[in-house]
Chains A and B, each alone.
Chain A
Amino acid sequence: MRLTRRQFTVGTASGAGLLALGPMGRLAHAARNDELNILCWEGYNTDQVLGPFRSDHPGARVRAESGTSDPDMINKLRAGEVRVWDLINVNQPWARDQLYPEGLIRPLDKERFMPYFDNMLPEFSNPPYPLSFAENGDLLGMPQRYGPFSFVVNTDRISRETAENEGWNLFLDPAMQGRYGVLTYQNWNIIHMCLTAGLDPFAPVAGADMEQFEKVAGQIFGNARLLAGDLVQMNLALINGEIDAYFTGGTYTASPARLDGATNIRAITPQSGPVDGKGGVVWVELTSVVNNPDPSSLAPEFLEFVQRPDICHAVAFSEGTYNPVAQMGDDAVMARFSARELDAIQYDSLDEEMSRSLDYQVVPSYNELNTAYSAAKRG
């Protein structure tokens, strides 16, 4: 094909035209008091939550994207997206141990936000939830959704009492071979495998302890019927009898099945365990303001907005998974939950399960444990 001078000029001109559009596209996003970008776990990105906020701020462009894991979301900020996001919602250890030291989030105005702790459940209000704060006392994030997270059983096959008494040993019982699944939330699996091995995941693990971890990890993967990263798939396998229990799970994963009527699916917190007698773990989401060089004034406003009773309920019962919220200490929030909803999130046993649970923290030997975990998973 021969290229004429005319064809070349036309091609170049259209290219230049496209390039010229670039800066104009940017102008549209320049005003940062009418834009809010939220990086969050699913729930905050639903219409039930964002709809009312958008109505309150009709000129604003409010966008939320849900992540699939804490590290995935944190990676985005590390990869330079601090310029994109205004709020990040991840589990409790990250803000204090990684996000704040790395300069990825900024502290909240204590005068504005401390009063909200007064209306929270006692676990979060008295004293104000410790992991919300940096070691220097800065307020780093506001707690809202939380839940005990250990394992899940089908109570028609394994009674709640047996499961709670057996605790993690249930998964080492030869009779359970091929009868359970592993929900591959890797960071949680590592914590739970430490507890199963009788180890404290939140203290350094090495030497003979590491060997014990490797043995337990190998056994748990080796005897599992299936591995899946999807809670729906795991609940389905539990409901249709493919498995009787799954390793790593809690109210967060069991509640969708329970709200659908499968109340024989129950999240279990072991009665006892190796760390201060506790064997369960609890996650608490903290929502923090991203250290965006061009901060949006809507970020702190949104943090206040989600403390409203109707929005607290919407956050707890948005699509996907259903979870208790710290604001249930407020009667106005509590009144919004139906008996069926409270049953779905196992509110009857929430207090005692919380008292048997450790706070999810950063795992000091995570890299070494992760290497052993990955090797065991490959088999």
Chain B
Amino acid sequence: MDSLNRRMGALSAIPMGVVLLLAFIFPLGVVAGFSIMPPNVFDLGHLPDFSAYGQVIEQGYWTSLAWSLGLAAASTLLLFIICWPLAFGMAKVFNRFTLVMVLAVVITLFVSENIRLFGWVLTLMKGGLIDGYLKAWFGLELSGALYNAPVIVLGLVYVYLPFMLFPLAQGIAMVPDDARQAAMDLGASRWRVFIEIDLPLASPGILVGSLISFVLAAGALAESKLLGGQEVIVIADDIESAFSYGQNWPLGSALAMVLILIVGALAIFGLSRIDLDRIMGRAG
């Protein structure tokens, strides 16, 4: 019976396996294939050539990659700091009010990211919402709020907040109240409880939230384009340019592969350290 069950399990997995193969592995394979094609070709029928990777290194694309990873790391850290109290409230304090918070955060996702970011442009630009009021009320001028690196981080934090908040709340919900109370009874300070109880026990949620936010932010483009005025050129910008204006699919593919490898390695490393079944509430 056990072997039949295993066989049926494997057979049932075939449709999903085929979907994943076609929709996930195959496109990645095509990108990987193009990344080892000679420059400026539009099909895979050529001898492999690693010149696109050479271009990635020689032409200084690492600066864009460093910016993307740096901005993603900064925004992930900020997201963690901002979301922790909120997530803690949602998991332990707010009770029914949690639903209101969830709705408030989820509803923002109904509006396109570009429109929300353009809202920030209208708010922060010269003569915009904030500048206009500052001028009218205090005679002050807000200059230089847009088109710099910090405002890109603001955009990333704003857009990816739900992706950190919900896994974090899920993680914090896994921390047993008994453990916290026991620690406090034994004289632990709030800080000590945070460091020794909350953080380790909520770590699966922290890891998942950080991974999702980081991966999304590393590939983000709209924030640097709309808010940053391309003051900083991120790797996604270079990938888009290579595929479109550059008409150099191999270079675009090589840039994409470098990003995929870095982000993929981080994701595999992170996921290997947590038990996803536990955070999904399917323990046992």
Contact = CB atoms under 8 A, between A and B. Distances in A.
Interface stretch (A115-123, A136-144, A233-241, A333-341): A233-241
Contacts of A379: 63, 233
A240 B5 contact: no
A240 B128 contact: yes
Contact of A227 (B40, B230, B238): B230
A237 B226 CA distance: 12
B85 interface: no
A293 interface: no
Given A242-B126, A367-B39, A233 B147 contact: no
Interface in A65-96: 68-69, 71-72, 75, 78
Contact of A186 (B118, B127, B245): B245
A374 B59 contact: yes
A241 B230 contact: no
Nearest to A67: B244
Contacts of A371: 55, 59
A240 B125 contact: yes
Contacts of A69: 244-245
Contacts of A366: 247
A230 interface: yes
A8 B8 contact: yes
B125 A378 contact: no
Contacts of B233: 377-379
A241 B226 contact: no
Contacts of B55: 371
B8 A226 contact: no
A375 B59 contact: yes
Given A233-B226, A242-B126, A378 B64 contact: yes
Nearest to A181: B229
Interface string B246-257: 111000000000
Nearest to A221: B230
A374 to B, nearest CB: 6
B159 interface: no
B45 interface: no
Interface stretch (B9-17, B169-177, B178-186, B258-266): B9-17
A215 B182 CA distance: 68
B15 A15 contact: yes
Interface in B181-237: 225-226, 229-231, 233
Interface string A315-331: 00000000000000000
A207 to B, nearest CB: 19
Contacts of B164: none
Interface of A: 2-3, 5, 8, 11-12, 15, 68-69, 71-72, 75, 78, 181, 184, 186-187, 225-230, 233, 236-237, 240-242, 366-367, 370-371, 374-375, 377-379
B225 A75 contact: no
A8 B146 contact: no
Nearest to B4: A5
A72 B252 CA distance: 13
Given A186-B241, A226-B147, A236-B125, A8 B12 contact: yes
A93 B226 CA distance: 30
8 contacts: A3-B5, A3-B12, A71-B244, A226-B231, A242-B125, A367-B247, A370-B246, A378-B60
A114 B241 CA distance: 37
Contact of A378 (B63, B128, B229): B63
A379 B63 CA distance: 9
Given A8-B12, A240-B125, A378-B233, A229 B225 contact: yes
B8 A228 contact: no
Q: When A and B form their complex, which 8 residue pairs have the shortest distance between CB atoms, in order from nearest?
A: A226-B229, A227-B230, A186-B245, A240-B127, A226-B147, A242-B126, A378-B233, A8-B8
Given A225-B229, A226-B230, A370-B246, A233 B121 contact: yes
A68 B241 CA distance: 12
Contacts of B8: 3, 5, 8
A3 B11 CA distance: 11
Contact of B12 (A11, A226, A228, A237): A11
Contacts of B245: 69, 71, 186-187, 370
B158 interface: no
Contacts of A3: 5, 8-9, 12
B226 A72 contact: no
A237 B121 CA distance: 10
B12 to A, nearest CB: 6
A8 B40 CA distance: 48
B146 A226 contact: yes
A241 B238 contact: no
Contact of B243 (A11, A75, A233, A240): A75
